[in-house]
Structure 1
Amino acid sequence: MKEFERKQLLERANREGATVGADIPDAIDVQGEEVELQSFVFEIKRRDTIPDGERERVEQAKRNLRRERLERLQKVEDNEVSYEEGEQLVESIIGIDRALNALEQLRPKDLEKEEQMQETADQKRWMNFLKQALGRDDASSKRRGGRP
């Protein structure tokens, strides 16, 4: 493969918006094992949050996908493949990135609970601020001689 072709493929693989409109591959060979990637991602994504029992499985899948992505990218960087093989690798890299993006957007269940508690605390602080700012706080109105 020519140097400009290699650079072009690398740029495409690392482009910020490369995953927009990209499909997650049905199946992919990850670390020597065939993984039904699309069904795995959709199964996990359907839940919106990662159940406690699935967290380690999802984290392991993300680690394996990142490792596979790096290995495929390295083959293109080291010019170990033909241009046609490089194109196929880049397409698979973009599919892996798409799957990783989908998995990264999921939140663990306990994080969701924490987020709700934080939001409730924020609302309470905001209401207290408004009460004080508008002079409707009972403690501050007693100090000023206002109505209780």
Structure 2
Amino acid sequence: MKEFERKQLLERIERDSATVGADIPDEITVQGEEIELQSFVFEIKRRETIPRGERERVEQAKKNLRRERLQRKQRIEDNEVSYERGEELATAIIGIDRALNALEQLGAANIEQEAQTQETADRKRWMKFLQKALGHEDADSGTGRAGRSY
């Protein structure tokens, strides 16, 4: 592969808009294992939240995809492949980026939602603690000390 072709491929995969209109590959070999990437991403995105048991699986998949992307990019950078193979690698890298973007967006929404849920639960626990500490256990019902007059 000629130097300008290699640079062109590298620029293409690093372009911010590279994933626009790109497809997530149906299948891809990641770390020597064949993965049905498109169905995995769509399965995860279909759910509103990622169940706790699935989070580890999703995080591991993202880690493996990032590693595979780096290895494929390295092959282009090191000029180990023909231009045709470089084109295939670049297309696969862009597909990996598209899958990673989809998985990252889902993760961010869940993390924010989980943080908000946790904050609400913490606030409720704090209010119960304060009510109990101040002797207002049943302040809402009027049957606790708050409703009594001395």
- What range is the shorter-chain TM-score in? 0.7 to 0.9
Structure 2 SS opposite 1:106: helix
Residues 33 and 14 of structure 1: CA distance in aligned 2, closer, same or farther (over 3 Å): same
Cα deviation, 1:63-88, whole Å, max 9, x if unaligned, reads: 00000000000000000000000000
Residues 113 and 79 of structure 1: CA distance in aligned 2, closer, same or farther (over 3 Å): closer
Number of the residue aligned with 2:82: 82
Residue 71 (structure 2) pairs with residue 71 (structure 1): yes
Give 1:32's aligned amino acid: G
How far is the alpha carbon of 1:117 from its aligned partner?
6.8
Structure 1 SS opposite 2:16: coil
Larger relative contact order (CA 8 Å, sep ≥ 6) = 1
In the alignment, structure 1 segments of 5+ residues that lack a partner are: 122-148
Give 2:19's aligned amino acid: T
- Counterpart Cα distance in 2 of 1:116 and 1:103: 21
When normalised by structure 1's length, the TM-score is: 0.75
Give the fraction of aligned pairs with identical amino acids, expressed as a percent: 73
How far is the alpha carbon of 1:58 from its aligned partner?
0.2
How far is the alpha carbon of 1:49 from its aligned partner?
2.2
Number of the residue aligned with 1:29: 29
Give 1:94's aligned amino acid: I
Residues 42 and 75 of structure 1: CA distance in aligned 2, closer, same or farther (over 3 Å): same
Is the contact between residue 25 and residue 95 of structure 1 (CA under 8 Å) also seen in structure 2?
Answer: yes
Cα deviation, 1:60-119, whole Å, max 9, x if unaligned, reads: 000000000000000000000000000000000000000000000113756414335769
How far is the alpha carbon of 1:28 from its aligned partner?
0.1
Give 1:40's aligned amino acid: F
Is the contact between residue 52 and residue 109 of structure 1 (CA under 8 Å) also seen in structure 2?
Answer: no
- Counterpart Cα distance in 2 of 1:68 and 1:96: 9
When normalised by structure 2's length, the TM-score is: 0.74
In the alignment, structure 2 segments of 5+ residues that lack a partner are: 124-150
Is the contact between residue 25 and residue 92 of structure 1 (CA under 8 Å) also seen in structure 2?
Answer: yes
Give 1:74's aligned amino acid: Q
Is the contact between residue 31 and residue 64 of structure 1 (CA under 8 Å) also seen in structure 2?
Answer: yes
- Counterpart Cα distance in 1 of 2:115 and 2:56: 20
Give 2:6's aligned amino acid: R
Cα-Cα RMSD: 1.9
Structure 2 SS opposite 1:34: strand
Give 2:13's aligned amino acid: A
Residues 35 and 3 of structure 1: CA distance in aligned 2, closer, same or farther (over 3 Å): same
- Counterpart Cα distance in 2 of 1:98 and 1:110: 20
